[in-house]
Structure 1
Amino acid sequence: QAQLEAARGTLSLLQKEEARYQTLYEKGATPASTVDARRRDVLNQERAIKEIESNIATIPAQIDAVQARMSANRANLQKQGVQIGRSVVKAPFNGRLGEVYLEVGQVVSAGSQLFTMQGNDEVRIEARFPQAQLGQFPLKTAYVTTPSGRQVKANIGPLREQVDPVSRTASVQLTVSNLANGHLLPGALVGVVLEGESHEPRPVVPRSALHNRSVFLVEDGKLTRREIQVAFREGDFLAVESGLQGGEKLVVSDPGLAIEGTPVLVKGQEQ
């Protein structure tokens, strides 16, 4: 706009100059060529003013075009930022990389496995024990011995309901925390010790004394049969939940075709 005002000021001066030379020409004081030159200067300045006005008229459109390009550039920048963000893979846990299945510059698709990762915060361990041992008592605590000899306490997870048909073993899931220093690696063999919950003192009888959920006792010199409930087994012995109080005279040998009420002779202190 300032350029337009300056051009109009110049045009006004040129027009005055043209009028002055026209007056001189009419008085015979200057040739016609001088007047023609001043007239051309005025016409050239008028064309310059029209060009400036035309440029000013196109400025709003130019501003709109620049703003449109700026919006497109912002959108493209945002798109590039999203793509860069998607190229950063963040694990949901702390850990160390294992096997890597890609190279620099390789194009990958959704669902492709990029690498394996071993978590540092928690390590899962699968321990297998004979089915009979796991069914003897409720599990309370577990300890894991790492290959380096370090022993750490483990959390006991669920007991797998399925038993291996060949080894007749069941699986216990354990988790160990705070092994960020790399004491355990995937596939490492470890030692596991399970401890059961403590129980109130219970009568203990040999397994050989149990006959179809019952045992034979000697009461008042006669053979009696009593049904018992077993709490758990430990080797060749049974912990009795109910049916015995302790101190009874128990028949530990095979009574054969025993009949209740049969007189029994106790030899020595054998029960």
Structure 2
Amino acid sequence: MKFIYTTLVIIILAFVSCNSEEENVSKTATEPITVQVEKVSASDENTLKTSGKIKAVNQAQISTRMMGYIESVPAKVGQEVQKGDVLVQLNSQDLIAKKAQAQAQIAKAKSHLLNVEKNYNRFKNLLEKQSISQKEFDDIKMAYQMAKESLNAAQQMQAEVNAQLGYSIIKAPFNGTITNIFAEVGNLAKPGEYLVEIENNQLFEVSTSLAESQINRISIKTPVEVNIQSIDAKVPGQITELASSATTAGQYAVSVQLNSSPETLKSGMYATVEFQVNKATTSQLYIKSDAIVKQGELRGVYTISSQNTAVLNWLKLGPRKGDLIEVISGLSANEIYITSAEAKLYNGAPIEQK
């Protein structure tokens, strides 16, 4: 009897404990997650700002059109050069030998043509006097044509050799400064392989891009100011290129040429480009970039439903602006979104604002 009583007590205590745990679990499961929120900000400023990199308008990476061993590299990094200055010299001994052969062939072909031409003129006179047959004249006429073609072939060979000799001397295509040298004496240069990099530092431009919500707000005539913070300079500019189609990232390329070039300005410096535009007919929307939720290629943000639950909204985003990022679609102005949460959020999670 005592054993039965003890067993009943244990069962009752276990039942009470299970009920208590279920109540705690249920309570925990429905407990709202505390979150911090912000409102979607709207901007209708008459200035578009974007960042870009300074580069020279005239710049070139020079390669060779022939294969050959590098014999000398007269150019040095930072050296000012003039158009036509020699930058790299390839070994051309075999080409010089071919040129001598071509010249010898030309001399031989000229001598042979001179002799055949004399015979041709003599046979022509004899034919007029009917002293030779037509066949004899035709034979000498063919020999004369072949002699001229032989000379022409030899001259073409010489022209080809001269062109190849020209390829062995790499010259500056314009006045500028040597910014990089990849060639080393003794290395084998190959066609298409960069040997020297040169740029003219008289004209500079900024390469940047704009989102689809911004590109229609500017034109070639839009006033531009370029701010180069590293040298504390602001320079007016002019739009020179405006892409009509977007890249795979949805951005439209824009090139802005600087109206002047400060002495301390160098390629590779970063700049902020300010486009002076009319106010947009529709406001640009921004949210904090650290509120973005990423799932593969998708980007979204959590908002709050009328039942105080989290709802994940997928967005189409534009460029960043400091710690903000533009929202092209998916949210509306002044809509509340969640910036941070004390626990992991999910669709339908009960929440309370901090």
Question: Which structure is larger by alpha-carbon Rg, 1 or 2?
Answer: 1
TM value normalised by structure 2:
0.29
Larger relative strand fraction: 2
